[in-house]
């Protein structure tokens, strides 16, 4: 009888349900790399949309909420003339808090809403004031500041890797090229 109980216990342990991963625990950290489209979707003839790349470091707090710190490079364009466009680049540092909104029981899906403060530098046409047609550009480089609102979904591929999608609305001040930038994209996160 004892051998039968041991065999049944062994079979249950081999063929039973899997143990759930311990994810998003307080004190865990993550590094995230993201790539986004900004101000629209590039179709080949779009002259005003752009892109951004960012790197962030996050620290998990209670209830899977996170503090994040990082930087981002955003490149957009302003249409000029019939076929031209003027580049506008922003280099920003960001600090924010991401509130965990919902997740599934197995911790493979997480939805976050975030709010962050940002500051940095914006350059218009890389500092060149004279355009190719001889016109003078009146918009100049500037120190910028502001914030961002983010909605992000993470899908855990394993205990350490998550793939996600995000939408983000940035609002910046101190510049003369526009105050709002909408972006959407993907991110890859490594949790350690």
pLDDT of residue 20: 47
Give me the DSSP letters along 131-189. Answer: -TTSPBP----EEEEEEEEEEEEEEESSSSEEEEEEEEEEEEES-SS-SEEEEEEEEEE
Q: pTM for this one?
A: 0.80
Q: What's the pLDDT tens digit per position in 6-41?
A: 777 766 565 544 444 577 888 899 999 999 999 877
Q: What's the pLDDT tens digit per position in 96-111?
A: 999 999 988 888 899 9
Fold exhibited by the domain 2-191: Porin (2.40.160)
- For the chain, the structural domain boundaries read 2-191
pLDDT of residue 17: 47
Q: Residue range 141-145: average pLDDT?
A: 94
| Contact status, residue 24 vs residue 64, Cβ threshold 8 Å | yes
User: Which segment of 38-47, 109-118, 159-168, 178-187 scores lowest on mean pLDDT?
Assistant: 38-47
């Amino acid at each position: 009888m004892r051998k039968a109980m041991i065999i049944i216990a062994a079979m249950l342990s081999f063929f039973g349900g899997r143990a759930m991963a311990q994810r998003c625990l307080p004190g865990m950290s993550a590094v995230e790399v993201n790539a986004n489209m900004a101000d629209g979707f590039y179709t080949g003839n779009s002259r005003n949309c752009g892109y951004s790349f960012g790197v962030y470091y996050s620290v998990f707090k209670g209830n899977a909420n996170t503090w994040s710190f990082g930087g981002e490079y955003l490149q957009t364009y302003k249409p000029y003339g019939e076929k031209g466009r003027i580049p506008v680049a922003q280099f920003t540092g960001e600090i924010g808090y991401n509130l965990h909104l919902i997740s599934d029981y197995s911790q493979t899906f997480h939805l976050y809403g975030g709010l962050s403060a940002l500051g940095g530098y914006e350059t218009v046409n890389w500092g060149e004031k004279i355009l190719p047609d001889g016109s003078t550009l009146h918009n100049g480089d500037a120190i910028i500041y502001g914030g961002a609102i983010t909605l992000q979904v993470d899908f855990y591929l394993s205990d350490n890797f998550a793939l996600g999608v995000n939408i983000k609305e940035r609002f910046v001040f101190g510049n003369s090229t526009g105050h709002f930038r909408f972006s959407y994209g993907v991110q890859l996160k490594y949790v350690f």
